[in-house]
Structure 1
C-alpha cells in the first residue's frame, strides 16, 4: 500500500487538499496529513481541517509521495518552511514522487526540483517564477519523471487520479474513478 504525506498550511486551497486526500484514501493508500504547527488548519475559504499529525512528527518517515496542495497563502507558508524543502529534496534523491498543484509548484521550483523539467501550475504564479530551465505548459496535469504538477482547483480530481495511476497503475485508477460518475 502506498504511503502519502499531504502537508497542510494555513491558507491552503481546501478543494485541492480534500480532493487529494479523499481520492487517495479511496485507492486504499495510507494518507497522512501533517500541519506545520499544532492545531487545526484554516484554509483559504474558511474551511478548517484537522491534520493527522504535526510535520515535525512525520517529516523524517518514509513516504512514496509527498503532495502539496496549493492556495497562495498555504504555498507561501510551505515554501518558507525549511523542513518542507529538506523533505522534498530527500524524496527526490530517493527516487520517490513529489507533487504540487496550483500555487504549490513554486515550492518545488524553490527546492530545485523543476530544473530541466516540464511542469504546470496556477498561471499567474508560474508566470511570476524565475525558472528559465523549466518548461511550463498549460496542460492540466504534467508528470515529468518523479515530479507531478497540476494547474488548480478545477484540475484537482484529474491530478489525484493521475497520482493514483502513478503509484498503483491504470486498473486502480479505473477502480477509483468509476464510482465517481465523472462525465466521459
Structure 2
C-alpha cells in the first residue's frame, strides 16, 4: 500500500470571516495535490467563514506559529484580512519567513500586510487595487500585474489569479 509523503508544509494566514473563498481554496488545492500540507491559522481557532460562505477550520493561532515548522507562509486576501494589517504577530511572521528566505506570499488586499511588515522595499509586487497606495508607501515597485514573483516574495492581485498564485507558491517550494 502506498502512503502519501508530505514533502512541504505551508501555513495559510486566514481572517476569521470575510476572507476571499477562492483565494483560500484554490491555492490550497494546488499545494495539497502536490503533497504539501496546509495548516490554517488565524486570530482564533475553530470555524472560519469566507465572504461567499466557504467554511474552513483554523487549528493554530498566529501567535503560536513557529517559522521553523513551515516551509512557506501565505496571507489570504479578502476584506477580513484587515485584521492583520497592523497585527504584531502577522507582521513579525512576514519578516521571519522573509529573512529565512522562505516563500512569503500574499494575495489580493493581504499584500498590505507585507508592505506594513516592511519587506517590500524595492520589490516588484502587486495587490488588489485598493492596496496600491499602501504598497507604494511600503517601498514596493507596484506593477498591477495579476501575479508577481520577486525573490521569495510572491504576490497576486485577486481571485482571478488564485490558481496561478498557488502554482507560484508550489514552484517556490521546489
> Which TM-score band applies after superposition, normalised by the shorter structure?
0.7 to 0.9
1:96-111 matches, within 5 Å, as: 96-111=102-117
Choose the corresponding residue for 2:61, options 54, 60, 65.
54
TM-superposed CA distance for 1:126, in Å, is 1.4
Cα deviation 1:48-86 (Å, max 9, x = unaligned): 21123333443454211101110022x211223211111
Scaled by the length of structure 2, what TM-score is found? 0.88
Higher strand residue share: 2
1:148 pairs with 2:154: yes
Contact 1:59 1:83 in 2 (8 A): no
Contact 1:91 1:97 in 2 (8 A): yes
Distance across 1 between alignment mates of 2:94 and 2:22: 22
Could you tell me which runs of 5 or more consecutive residues in structure 1 were left unpaired when the two chains were aligned: 169-184
Distance across 2 between alignment mates of 1:97 and 1:84: 15
Number of the residue aligned with 1:13: 20
Contact 1:11 1:72 in 2 (8 A): yes
Scaled by the length of structure 1, what TM-score is found? 0.83
Number of residue-to-residue matches in the alignment: 167
Query: In 2 relative to 1, CA 59–76 (structure 1 residues): closer, same or farther, beyond 3 Å?
Result: farther
Distance across 2 between alignment mates of 1:48 and 1:85: 25
SS in 1 for 2:69: coil
Could you tell me which runs of 5 or more consecutive residues in structure 2 were left unpaired when the two chains were aligned: 1-6
